[in-house]
């Protein structure tokens, strides 16, 4: 059993079942199969040969079930084990799954059940392989990776990995801080344009009257302040990838121009009538529900369909909490090495505090909390006192703005207090705060400026 690119199955079953397995394997294709009931099978596993699936009928090969699983898991940690169980064993199912069995089928199984099991596992293997390749592409030459251990994230990465291979437009959705930009870079680096530029542009961070020129460029004298020609992002990204962050914030007048580039690859600089061409792959991101924006008439339906070719939707951190311990470990390593501090880990109490917190600011908020923790930490382990999380109960904070003075002064006091709390809750991430407030980020920034909170 040596073929590395095949799906390798080892069947420890009796002769009658072996025929069934053979038939199933033939109809799936792409698998190699070793059927064995005896000692040499055990050798195969112990030799470290690549086995992807072990079909184990404990009654046929005199392996007591629990011991059999323990032995196989120790000899071959990456292989999956499916048990063929008689009626009398079925009650043990849950326990066996907990010990690391992947699935169980009745003994003897039907061919259809076997086909389903094998093809399902082959798909899962392929997905994990692609995900690893994409994440490795991101890590090459830079200290960046995507932490993903939960099924929710694996699914997302699988979509992204498939998207990466093509040149199609990708729309990444997800709350602020969920890793949209990180995934966008990974898609670019794992795709056909990896040696060309990745040009990001964040629409929410731009003043409205500058968006068009930022995207398409302008000619000297196109508007007041246009002192010289300027190359836009579309031209800069020619041959590569343009990452349009917060595409939901593109004003309607510019949406139609964006649609035109996406359709025909041509655009005009501000203040000029000559068309320019650009060959770009578009990856767009938004923390808005674009479909709802379309229904509300704020986003063009035709542009939405052009952009939403391959949708990749990142889960909020609270919906894949299983990744938190891995992210914590990763960020502690990252910031202890960056700050040259000998922080090795985190205490159980501090970890449990983190696990209970909802993280409205998602991974970005978690990262900020840990960076701060590492900087403050005096020992080898982060303790509860190093972990600053906003209180979950706003009533604990009873500071009240003053109620006397002029109208503007009092209302301004309220607004200031309100906005600072929302910002605090969102780890000072303005787009997350704006979303919680139901206003756009530009408006929030404007209010912060007016209230001199920035």
Rounded Cα–Cα distance for residues 80 and 153 (Å): 20
CB closer to Mg ion out of 32 and 368: 368
**Of the candidates 179, 248, 373, 390, which one interacts with ligand ADP according to CB under 6 A?**
179
Contact 424, 413 (CB under 8 A): no
Sequence-distant (6+) residues with CB within 8 A of 267 are 215, 216, 232, 234, 257, 260, 261, 275, 276, 278
Using Cβ positions, the residue closest to ligand ADP within the complex turns out to be 179
**Of the candidates 181, 238, 272, 319, which one interacts with ligand ADP according to CB under 6 A?**
181
Contact 288, 248 (CB under 8 A): yes
Binding residues with ligand ADP: total (CB under 6 A): 14
- Give whole-number Cα distances, 244 to 182, 274, 276, 285, in Å: 13, 24, 19, 6
**Minimal distance, residue 201 CB to Mg ion, in Å:** 11
By CB under 6 A, is residue 182 in contact with ligand ADP?
Answer: yes
**Of the candidates 68, 108, 177, 191, which one interacts with ligand ADP according to CB under 6 A?**
177
CB closer to Mg ion out of 181 and 371: 181
Count each helix (H run) and each strand (E run) in the chain, helices first.
Answer: 18, 16
**Minimal distance, residue 177 CB to Mg ion, in Å:** 7
CB closer to ligand ADP out of 31 and 283: 283
Rounded Cα–Cα distance for residues 358 and 354 (Å): 8
Rounded Cα–Cα distance for residues 118 and 7 (Å): 9
Touching Mg ion, residues 395-414 (CB under 5 A): none
Count CB atoms within 10 A of the CB of residue 262: 18
Question: In this structure, what is the dihedral angle of CA atoms 81, 85, 90, 93, given to the nearest 10 degrees?
Answer: -10
By CB under 6 A, is residue 158 in contact with ligand ADP?
Answer: no
Per-residue contact track with ligand ADP, 88 to 127, x per CB under 6 A? ----------------------------------------
CB closer to Mg ion out of 185 and 447: 185
By CB under 6 A, is residue 364 in contact with ligand ADP?
Answer: yes
Which entry of Mg ion, ligand ADP, none binds 307, CB below 5 to 8 A by partner kind?
A: none
**Of the candidates 147, 171, 307, 312, which one interacts with ligand ADP according to CB under 6 A?**
147
3-state secondary structure of 275: strand
Binding residues with Mg ion: total (CB under 5 A): 1
Stretch that binds ligand ADP, among 23-31, 141-149, 302-310, 348-356 (CB under 6 A): 141-149
Q: How many CA atoms lie within 13 A of 153 on its CB side?
A: 25
Nearest to 423 by CA among 436, 440, 409, 413: 436
By CB under 6 A, is residue 441 in contact with ligand ADP?
Answer: no
Which entry of ligand ADP, Mg ion, none binds 363, CB below 5 to 8 A by partner kind?
A: ligand ADP
**Minimal distance, residue 432 CB to Mg ion, in Å:** 10
Touching Mg ion, residues 161-220 (CB under 5 A): 181
Using Cβ positions, the residue closest to Mg ion within the complex turns out to be 181
Rounded Cα–Cα distance for residues 185 and 381 (Å): 32
Count CB atoms within 10 A of the CB of residue 281: 22
Which entry of Mg ion, ligand ADP, none binds 177, CB below 5 to 8 A by partner kind?
A: ligand ADP
CA-only gyration radius of the chain, Å:
28
Stretch that binds ligand ADP, among 54-62, 258-266, 361-369, 446-454 (CB under 6 A): 361-369
Rounded Cα–Cα distance for residues 73 and 95 (Å): 15
Tokens of 284: 């767009």
By CB under 5 A, is residue 288 in contact with Mg ion?
Answer: no
Partnered with residue 7 across adjacent β-strands are 31
**Minimal distance, residue 163 CB to ligand ADP, in Å:** 16
Tokens of 383: 């303790």
3-state secondary structure of 82: strand
Which entry of ligand ADP, Mg ion, none binds 174, CB below 5 to 8 A by partner kind?
A: ligand ADP
Whose tokens are 């470290």? That residue is 48
Burial (CB < 10 A; 0-12, 13-18, 19+), residue 297, is exposed
Summarize as ranges the residues that interact with Mg ion (CB under 5 A).
181
Summarize as ranges the residues that interact with ligand ADP (CB under 6 A).
146-148, 174, 176-182, 363-364, 367
């Amino acid at each position: 059993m040596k073929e590395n690119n095949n799906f390798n199955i080892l069947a420890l079953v009796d002769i009658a079942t072996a025929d069934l397995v053979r038939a199933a394997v033939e109809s799936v294709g792409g698998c190699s199969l070793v059927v064995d009931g005896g000692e040499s099978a055990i050798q195969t596993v112990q030799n470290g040969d690549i086995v992807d699936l072990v079909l184990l009928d404990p009654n046929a090969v005199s392996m007591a079930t629990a011991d059999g699983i323990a032995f196989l898991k120790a000899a071959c940690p990456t292989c999956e084990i499916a048990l063929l169980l008689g009626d009398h064993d079925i009650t043990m199912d849950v326990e066996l799954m907990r010990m690391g069995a992947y699935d169980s089928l009745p003994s003897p199984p039907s061919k259809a059940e076997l086909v389903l099991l094998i093809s399902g596992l082959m798909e899962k293997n392929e997905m994990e392989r692609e995900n690893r390749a994409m994440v490795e592409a991101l890590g090459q030459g830079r200290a960046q990776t995507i932490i993903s251990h939960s099924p929710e994230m694996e699914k997302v990465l699988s979509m992204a990995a498939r998207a990466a291979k093509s040149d199609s437009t990708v729309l990444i959705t997800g709350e602020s801080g969920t890793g949209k930009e990180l995934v966008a870079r990974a898609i670019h680096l794992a795709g056909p344009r990896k040696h060309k530029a990745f040009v990001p542009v964040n629409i929410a961070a731009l003043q409205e009257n500058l968006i068009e020129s930022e995207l398409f460029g302008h000619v000297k004298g196109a508007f007041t302040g246009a002192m010289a020609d300027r190359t836009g992002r579309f031209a800069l990204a020619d041959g590569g990838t343009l990452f349009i962050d917060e595409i939901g914030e593109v004003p309607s007048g510019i949406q139609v121009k964006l649609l035109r580039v996406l359709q025909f690859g041509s655009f005009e600089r501000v203040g000029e009538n000559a068309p320019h061409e650009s060959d770009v792959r578009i990856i767009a991101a938004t923390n808005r529900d674009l479909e709802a924006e379309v229904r509300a008439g704020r986003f063009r339906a035709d542009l939405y369909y052009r952009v939403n070719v391959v949708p990749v939707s990142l889960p909020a951190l609270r919906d894949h909490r299983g990744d938190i311990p891995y992210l914590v470990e990763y960020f502690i390593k990252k910031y202890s090495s960056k700050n040259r501090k000998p922080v090795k880990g985190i205490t159980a109490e501090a970890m449990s505090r983190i696990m209970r917190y909802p993280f409205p600011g998602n991974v970005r908020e978690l990262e900020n909390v840990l960076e701060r923790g590492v900087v403050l930490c005096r020992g080898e382990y982060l303790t509860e006192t190093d972990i600053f999380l906003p209180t979950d109960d706003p009533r604990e904070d009873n500071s009240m703005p003053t109620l006397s003075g002029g109208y503007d002064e009092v209302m301004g006091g309220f607004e200031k207090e309100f906005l600072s709390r929302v910002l605090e809750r969102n780890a000072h991430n303005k787009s997350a705060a704006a979303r919680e407030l139901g206003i756009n980020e530009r408006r929030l920034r404007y209010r912060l400026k007016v209230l001199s909170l920035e």
